[in-house]
Amino acid sequence: MKRTILRLFKKLPELLSNVLAVSLAAQISTTPSIAATSFSEVSIIGVLINLVAVPLSGSILTLGFSGTLAGNVAASLACLIYACNDCLVSVLARSAEDAPAIPYAVVETPGVTLPLVGLLFLGCVSAAVAEAVLPEERWRKVGGLLLL
C-alpha cells in the first residue's frame, strides 16, 4: 500500500494506512466473485466507508462486552455503556444507509460471469508471481500488465 496507492501521501498515520489496506484487500478479494456476478454492481465507496466501519465495529463489540459485564455488577452502569454503544451503532448504520446515495458510489457490472472472474484472479496470481520472480524495479509494470 505504501509503495502504490498511498505513495501520494507523505505522512499517513500507520493506523489509517493499515485499516485502508485491510479494507481494500477485502474489497478486492470479494467484489469480483460476489458483487459483480450476483448483484451486477460493485460498490466503489465501500473501501472508504470501511474506514469508518472497521474502527466503529471494534468499539461497538468492546462496549457491548463491557456492558454485559457491567450489567452483572450495576444495571445503571450497563445502561450508560449501552447508551454510548447505541450512539456508535447509529453512526455505523447511518453511514451504511447514506453511502449508496453518494454519486458514483456503485458501478453497474452487467454481463460479468464466473469465467471472467476466474480470468481476473488468474491475472492476480500472475502479478503476484511476477513480484516474486522479477527484480523490484519491474514489478509495477509487469504486474500491472498481467493484471490488465
Q: Name residue 107's beta-bridge partners.
A: 42
Q: Is the pLDDT of residue 132 over 90?
A: no
The residue ranges of every structural domain in the chain are 12-111, 113-148
d(CA 50, CA 60): 14
Residue 78 CA: distances (Å) to CA of 10, 48, 56, 73: 43, 32, 19, 8
Task: Please report, as a single letter, which amino acid is at residue 59.
Answer: S
Give yes or no for residue 7 having a pLDDT over 60.
no
The better pLDDT of the pair 18, 97 is held by 97
pLDDT, tens only, 57-79: 889 999 999 999 999 999 999 99
Question: What are the phi and psi torsion angles at 41 (to 5°)?
Answer: -155, 155
Instruction: Mark 46-71 as b/e (b = at least 16 C-beta within 10 Å).
Output: bbbbbebbeebeeebeebeebbeebe
The pTM of the full predicted model, rounded to 2 decimals, is 0.57
For the cut 70, the answer to whether the pLDDT of residue 143 exceeds it is no
Question: Which of 14-28, 41-55, 75-89, 102-116 shows the lowest per-residue confidence on average (mean pLDDT)?
Answer: 14-28
Bigger pLDDT: 41 vs 88: 88
